Structures are given as C-alpha cells and as structure tokens.
Structure 1
Amino acid sequence: MTATAPVIDIRDVTRTYGEGPPALAGVTLSVRAGEAVAVLGPSGSGKSTLLNLVAGLDRPSAGSITVDGQRVDGLSEARSAEYRRAKVGMVFQFFNLLDDLTVADNVLLPAQLAGLPRAEARERATRLLEYLRIDRHADAYPGRLSGGERQRVAVARALMNRPALLLADEPTGALDTASGDDVRELLAELNARGQTIILVTHDLGLAESCATRTVELVDGRIVRGTAGIGDIEGAAAVSP
C-alpha cells in the first residue's frame, strides 16, 4: 500500500437479508492507519453488520471491502478465516473467552491457529499479559476474573497475532462503570501506540475518549461523520 492508502476501504456497500429493508445501504467509509473510528447509532442501524463484513464473517450484497490491501468481500470461508488470523483482532461485548482454558491459553489460541512457533507464541503472550497488567492471572480461569479483567484478556487475545485492525463490538456494554472506564483507557492507549481500531458502541463516553473520528449509522446509512481519505476522492461528505 502507498503511504496515503487506507487500511480499510469500504465502497458503496449494501447488505440485504431476504425481502426486508437493507441492513446497510450504500455505505462508503475509509480508515487510515492509526485512526480509531467509532460507529454510533441506535439498535438495528447496521453497526454490527458493518463490523461483521469488515471481519469477513459476512459478505456484502453489493460493493467492495478492502483491508490492508486485500479484497475481502468475496473470499471463501477458508480464505476468510486465514484473513482474520493474519489481519484482524476482535473484541466482543461478552468477551467470548473459553472458560475451560486458562487466561494464558486463551491468549495463545490465535497464535496456535496461525501456526506460530510455540516458543515465540509464549514469549509474545507473556509480553501482552504484562503490558495489559493481567500477568498475575495467567494461570487462572476466566470465570474467576472481574468483567474488566476478562475484557483485558479478550484484548490480549485479539492482539496476539499483531493485527492490522482491531474491531471492538460494544466492548464496554457488559461492564460496570469502573471496568468500562478501564477499558476506555486501554483502547485509547492502544490507539495512541498506533493501533487502528473500529469500535461499535452506544457509549458516547467511549467514543469521545477513544475515537479520533465518529460516524453515525441510521437505517443502514451514514448520516453523520465523514467517509475519510478526502471523502473517498470527491464523494459527497455527510454533515459533520
């Protein structure tokens, strides 16, 4: 990619399911390396659909999605899984940790799936656990941790393969106020260190503290914010 090329380039993406109204309708959005973009909007507005399309968990009905120079909108299931392992880290509202694995083994799982050498994977996991201040829980099981600690484990797992892109779907939605504040600080710190992030949230405080830019979706369309990268080479920008 060139220095000005976006990490994420979404062009005129529509996603329909059956005969109902589209979940997304003509969405265009571009994200540069190092940006943290918060996607806001009411329930049912298409936020999670957008995240799933970028993650390669779903395919658009029309339009194109390019991530880190790779078209991802038409990949097979096997190639989509390879793409996620190589380029995407995901953080979920309810953590999605495996309760029968220790914290360390949860964090190691993406590296094992990607075939990273065992010694290198363990060294990387140890550094991540130390950086995220959960190394003392390495041998504990997720059920013994607080919500905020479990979300830190989930973030460590998402970062394990050094993804170009971190996707976070309502990362504070299941947390109390104190734990939510902790996760906000963590995401802001990760972005300050250069991690590109797209986060879906209802939490305006999270968006204000973590995001370098916000967009709002309503009924599958961007109604507020900007498309980015010169508004996609001249496409009309929505109102700020």
Structure 2
Amino acid sequence: MTTPLIEVRGASRRYDGGPPALDDATLTVTAGEAVAIVGPSGSGKSTLLNLIAGLDRPDAGTVAVSGTRVDRLGEAGAARYRRSTVGMVFQFFNLLDDLTVADNVTLPARLAGMARGPARRRADELLEVLGLARHAGTYPGRLSGGQRQRVAVARALVNRPPLLLADEPTGALDSAAGQDVAELLRDLNAEGQTVVVVTHDPAIARSCTRRTVRLVDGRIVADDRATAGAAEESAR
C-alpha cells in the first residue's frame, strides 16, 4: 500500500468558542495527486489548508505530511517544515515589492541555507520554464497579475518541495489569467508535482485537478475522483 503524502485524521478546529471551522475532517492524498478543495465561503477550505501547511494546529485529530506530524511542531519546527516540504501560493501573491523578481524567487532558498549562486541558478531555471526569464530584474509592481502569480509559483517551487499548496490562486486574477495559472498547476502536476488547490471556482477545479473534495460547514461531504466533466459537476 502506498504511504500517503498527506494524512489528516479526525481534525477539528474552532475559533473563539464559535462553531467548528473544521469538523472531524479525514483526508489522505498520495504523492503525485492533484486535489481541489471546494466549498462555499466559510466552509473550512482555508482552515484545512492551513493545518496541512503548519500555519495552524487542530484542536483535535492529527495532521501528518511526508512522515512529519505537523500538528506536533512548534513554531521553529513548523518554519523548517514549510521550507523543506511545502511550497505555498496565495491569492494576493505576497511578493516583496522592493525586491526584483529573481530576488523574490531566491529568497526561500537563501532562507533554507542555499548559497547565492545555486539559488540564483535555480531561480533562473524556474523563470525560464515559466516564461518569465526576461523579467528577472523587474520589480513585481511592473508585472500583470498573472505574471506576478507565476513569480509566486516559481518562489513556491524553488526549494523543490514535495507538496504545493495554493489558496485561491486565481482569486485576484481575471478569467483569462486565472485559466493560465490553472493550466500551469495542471502542467506541474503532469510532471509529478503533488498539488492541493483551494478554490471557490468549479472551472478552476476542473481545469487543474481530477479529484474534488467538497466541504460544507466544516465537514467533508464529498470526495470524488472523476473525469474533468464530472469534477465540475461535483464542485457545484
């Protein structure tokens, strides 16, 4: 039996005594899968992603990624875990405007201890693959939204993480740029990258994954491995 890359067991999380943001969630993801987590606003999608990323801890249950019990990590351990295991892409890019594109991409590698030369070569390689090589010396504010999100993807991949997490990666983009980013995530998965995407958009789920996990009121209510057309229906 294949050992899951992600194994969430009975995870629950509530904030300030309110109703559960996540309620007894169990999810396994094997290496090489592409999974969309969908559901209405407030359904627990981002909470689940944050538990997997080590940005939050469950009140109950367990979270393990690549053999690491993420729910047991302290702050320093969680930071090391993210540097080595997880690449993250956010809705609003989170690029540093006073750094060039190349410097934004190399930053996680430098924080992980990679020397400047190898870090820059890795950044140049990614920027070339993502069609951004000519923008290496450009500042993010001079790029389109779609280009900035591609820079964010390059930054997330610079340390070769086994897991790529994307939280509403197309939410700040127009439909054309959003589809471009979805196709990029699909292509990365086709090359073997494990991808978990939180999205409210069924078209994005359909474009870049073949498995859809649906949450409602903090609970996983559907987990469908499907063809592209069926995945769209399950996300509605």
TM-score (norm. length: structure 2): 0.94
Matched, 1:10 2:4: no
Q: Which residue of 1 aligns with 2:53?
A: 55
SS at match of 1:10: strand
Counterpart pick for 1:177 among 162, 175, 195: 175
Paired letter, 2:131: R
Gaps spanning 5+ residues in structure 1: where?
228-240
SS at match of 1:216: strand
Tell me, in whole angstroms, the C-alpha distance in 2 between the residues paired with 1:226 and 1:7. 18
Q: Which residue of 2 aligns with 1:73?
A: 71
Tell me, in whole angstroms, the C-alpha distance in 1 between the residues paired with 2:112 and 2:210. 31
Give the alignment of 1:45-194 within 5 angstroms: 45-194=43-192
Paired letter, 2:139: Y
Q: Deviations over 1:145-199 (max 9, x none)?
A: 0000000000000000000100000011110111111101101100000000110
Q: Tell me how far 1:226 sits from its aligned partner.
A: 5.2
Tell me, in whole angstroms, the C-alpha distance in 2 between the residues paired with 1:39 and 1:193. 21
Tell me, in whole angstroms, the C-alpha distance in 1 between the residues paired with 2:201 and 2:184. 15
Q: Tell me how far 1:54 sits from its aligned partner.
A: 0.5
SS at match of 2:207: helix
Q: Tell me how far 1:212 sits from its aligned partner.
A: 2.0
Tell me, in whole angstroms, the C-alpha distance in 2 between the residues paired with 1:226 and 1:184. 19
**Hey, which bits of structure 1, 4+ residues long, moved more than 3 A?**
none
Q: Tell me how far 1:135 sits from its aligned partner.
A: 0.6
Q: Tell me how far 1:5 sits from its aligned partner.
A: 0.3
SS at match of 2:213: strand
SS at match of 2:11: strand
Matched, 1:25 2:10: no
SS at match of 1:81: helix
Tell me, in whole angstroms, the C-alpha distance in 2 between the residues paired with 1:188 and 1:115. 30
- Aligned identity (percent) is 68
Tell me, in whole angstroms, the C-alpha distance in 2 between the residues paired with 1:185 and 1:55. 23
Counterpart pick for 2:39 among 38, 41, 57: 41
Tell me, in whole angstroms, the C-alpha distance in 2 between the residues paired with 1:163 and 1:180. 23
Q: Which residue of 2 aligns with 1:205?
A: 203
Paired letter, 2:146: G
Q: Deviations over 1:5-63 (max 9, x none)?
A: 01000000000112211100100000010101100000000001111110000000010
Tell me, in whole angstroms, the C-alpha distance in 2 between the residues paired with 1:212 and 1:77. 34
Tell me, in whole angstroms, the C-alpha distance in 1 between the residues paired with 2:179 and 2:95. 21
Task: Report the count of equivalent residues.
Answer: 225
Q: Tell me how far 1:90 sits from its aligned partner.
A: 0.3
TM-score (norm. length: structure 1): 0.92
Aligned 8 A contact 2:122 2:158 in 1: yes
SS at match of 2:15: coil
Aligned 8 A contact 2:179 2:207 in 1: no
